[in-house]
Chains A and B, each alone.
Chain A
């Protein structure tokens, strides 16, 4: 079965600093990978996704992630943090094939705090 591990349940950065949120997955087949963001008291929204092709994926709000097959990783980065980036971030992998192929397996999430 596929699984997702997010290293660090809380990450704190200063405004203007690099944001790095780590995600590793396990999958026996080429995965589809996603990052979602959840702002306080809201539902999740898609930041970016990797399906096929270019391994460096750009998303909304200046975020990007790189798919590294050899490391089974899909880390999320942003060069310069903004106060509005404070939220919880979830990495997810799309499950298998067949009827359940759209189902997402989520990591436990990483809460990002941004200090002024």
Chain B
């Protein structure tokens, strides 16, 4: 069964450094997402991406965050100048084939655990 893959599984970064989290969504999906889960808390929506542009973003997704789909397969989340509070599990998800965003439920990658020191 096709799956969403994320790399790395764990990233340790010094505060103030830039970090890029990578994701390969399911190939025929059209909608891509990033979510965040601070340890012990619920999963929170960060941003959705469709047709090569951001379609929606949450209040969490401020100017230090950016997303990109540099080629036909990868989907990246960049965090500039990381802060301690950015420490969390970051999940990539993809969904929605032709026929609309609800055509396929969102499938999540295994997550990248980001630790800011």
| A and B associate in one complex | no
Q: What is the interface of chain B, defined by CB distance below 8 A to chain A?
A: none
Q: What is the interface of chain A, defined by CB distance below 8 A to chain B?
A: none
